């Protein structure tokens, strides 16, 4: 059955799909009255529904059985990553991180971040689309862009036991694949901008219990590093 997203899912009620979802159901999927679908709120709730009324720009769905769904990725993984001047590359990272099951994403404004317009509505829509495509009931929490030093100030409220910062500096670091261990239930990884973190930013992270790591033996683009880190942390056995 095709998957759809609605932020609010009142079981047993008749609800309307938004215009984009209705167009996708009718014009792309050619769905008709009586056809079944799955709907999620992105917070672990999954409902079965049937199309009760179909129009070009409006569809009414009768919600039936709803149930909570556990995360497919048992480990809670967060990625803090600098936005990129080329927005399409950052959007690619968001898509792949969502598909892999990342739980939280912190866009970080670092010293060497090249500022660009951050369209929160578009970025959120990309995450929703990737969640549905990968058939998950959990949408990653996408935070508003945050200055790097502010994230450090908030670390007492950000409860991740395992904290990592990936960088290309000559400062001491270990390969991430060598230090990961089974049983690490939650991890926060920081990925710097295209010019990398400054040494001062790396040292600041280490004072907040981040361990410096490398993601491989080659120099990776920011978005590639983000996906590599997400894959290593989410798929660790």
Q: What percent of the chain is predicted at pLDDT more than 90? A: 65
Which residue, among 84, 78, 90, 106, has the nearest Cα to 164 in the 3D structure? 78
Query: If you average pLDDT over every residue of the chain, what do you get?
Result: 91
CATH number corresponding to 3-68: 2.40.240.20
> Which of 117 and 44 is assigned the larger pLDDT?
44
Cite the residue boundaries of each domain of the chain with CATH code 2.40.240.20.
3-68
What is the location of CATH 3.40.1280.10 in the chain? Answer: 76-234
pLDDT value for 43: 95
10 pLDDT more than 80: no
The pLDDT of residue 68 is: 92
pLDDT in tens, 98-123: 999 999 999 999 999 997 788 999 99
The two tokens of residue 168 are 């290309």
Instruction: Say which CATH topology domain 76-234 has.
Output: Alpha/beta knot (3.40.1280)
Structural contact between residues 39 and 47, judged by C-beta atoms closer than 8 angstroms: yes
pLDDT value for 12:
66
Whose structure tokens read 């549905």?
Answer: 132
- Report which DSSP code applies to 90: H
Hey, is 73 helix, strand or coil? coil
d(CA 86, CA 105): 18
Q: Taking the complete model, does pTM exceed 0.75, yes or no?
A: yes
**If you average pLDDT over residues 148-159, what whole number do you get?**
87
At residue 69 the predicted structure's pLDDT band, cuts being 50, 70 and 90, is: very high
């Amino acid at each position: 059955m095709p998957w759809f997203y609605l932020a609010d899912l009142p079981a047993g009620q008749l609800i309307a799909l938004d215009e984009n979802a209705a167009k996708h159901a009718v014009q792309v999927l050619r769905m008709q009255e009586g056809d079944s679908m799955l709907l999620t709120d992105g917070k672990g709730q999954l409902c079965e529904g049937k199309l009760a009324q179909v129009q070009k720009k409006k569809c009414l769905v009768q919600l039936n059985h709803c149930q909570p769904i556990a995360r497919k990725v048992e480990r809670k993984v967060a990625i803090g990553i600098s936005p990129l001047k080329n927005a399409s590359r950052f959007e690619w990272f968001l898509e792949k991180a969502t598909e892999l099951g990342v739980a939280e994403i912190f866009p970080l404004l670092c010293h060497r971040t090249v500022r660009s317009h951050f369209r929160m509505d578009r970025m959120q829509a990309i995450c929703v689309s990737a969640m549905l495509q990968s058939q998950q009931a959990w949408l990653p929490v996408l935070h508003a862009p945050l200055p790097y030093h502010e994230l450090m100030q908030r670390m007492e409220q950000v409860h991740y036991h395992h904290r990592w910062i990936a960088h290309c500096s000559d400062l001491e670091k270990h390969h991430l694949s060598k230090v990961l261990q089974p049983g690490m239930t939650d991890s926060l990884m920081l990925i710097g901008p295209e010019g990398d973190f400054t040494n001062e930013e790396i040292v600041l992270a280490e004072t907040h219990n981040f361990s410096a790591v490398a993601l491989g033996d080659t120099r990776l683009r920011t978005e590639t590093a983000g996906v590599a880190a997400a894959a290593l942390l989410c798929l660790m056995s």
